[in-house]
Amino acid sequence: SIAPKQTQGGIRQIEVAAYTPPNHNKGKVLLLVDQTHWSALETDLNYFVEDLQMDGWQVVMVKAPRHLDSRWSPNVKRIAKVKALIQEHLGAPVKGVKMAILIGHVAVPYSGYVAIDGHTLRGDDHRGAWSCDAYYGDIDGIWHDNEVDHINRTHAPASNIPGDGKFDENQLPTRLEIAIGRIDFANLPSLNNGVLRNRSVKKSKMEVELIRQYLNKNHAFRFGSLHFEPETLIKSH
């Protein structure tokens, strides 16, 4: 186990227990899989489920709606659907869900307005709503959509106006009940401009292949099949 130690300047010390007994009952994890990738990744997902089970997790896997990048409005219902799936599986017979993992381009919640650390340059391109998967991990918090009114003219997806389904919150309203993770290779700049793919291969197929490679690498890491140089990168900001 790893226990970070908080100090005034951030995490300066990490303690690692070398002989901690393994935990064979870590709870339940919910896998929400992009429904457009379900069939193509079925075999790989089943291996991933087995890996998680051998690591002490009880696994539930369900299909979830894909995010629509070309138009925002349909995503509002899709986001609500994903949240409902999580809330549904928090109750019986799947009590004890501790984590949800979004696999593929599952509907992406957006929230916020504030742009800090100087990220308001180049035409105020960063002010507005940005992706916020933490929304899915907050089961009992109240999220608002009636105050922020901002049109981002250099990055349209960040625009946030009342009633559009993008939330106002810049900070989490409450502590998260479950952890949220995402394995998603959609909209990578190198994927969109063709650097990572052969022009004859559809972008959607390459997206699936990248997820497959990630899951295979994850499996190899768990079984000690990957070899790394003993190197460390340390940089204090």
Q: What is the pLDDT along the chain (237 residues), one digit of tens a residue?
A: 455 555 555 556 777 778 888 888 899 999 999 999 999 999 999 999 999 999 999 999 999 999 999 999 999 999 999 999 999 888 655 467 899 999 999 999 999 998 876 666 666 678 899 999 999 999 989 999 999 999 988 888 999 999 999 999 999 999 999 999 999 999 887 766 665 555 556 777 889 999 999 999 999 999 999 988 888 877 765
> Could you tell me if residue 126 is inside a domain?
no
Q: For the chain, state the CA radius of gyration.
A: 20
108 vs 30: CA distance, rounded Å = 17
The Cα-based distances of 152 to 124, 156, 202 in angstroms read: 7, 5, 31
**Is residue 217 in a domain?**
yes
How many domains does the chain fold into? Answer: 1
Residue 42 maps to a domain: yes
**33, part of any domain:** yes
pLDDT score of 217: 95
CA distance 73 to 181: 24
Strands (E), 77-236: 97-103, 110-111, 130-131, 179-183
For residue 146, being part of any structural domain is answered with no
Q: Token pair for residue 188? A: 């990578």
Q: What is the pLDDT of residue 11?
A: 54
Q: pTM of this prediction?
A: 0.84
Q: Looking at residue 200, what is its pLDDT?
A: 58
- 69 DSSP assignment: S
CATH number, residue 30: 3.40.50.10390
Interatomic CA distance for residues 128 and 124, integer angstroms: 9
Torsion over CA: 157, 160, 162, 166 (sign) = positive
Assess if residue 234 is contained within a domain: no
- 17 inside domain: no
Per-residue pLDDT, 231: 84
User: Is 9 within the bounds of a domain?
Assistant: no
Q: What is the pLDDT of residue 199?
A: 58
23-55 residue pLDDT tens: 888 999 999 999 999 999 999 999 999 999 999
Domain containing 32 equals 22-109+132-139+176-222
The pair of three-digit structure tokens given for residue 150, joined into one six-digit string: 């901002």
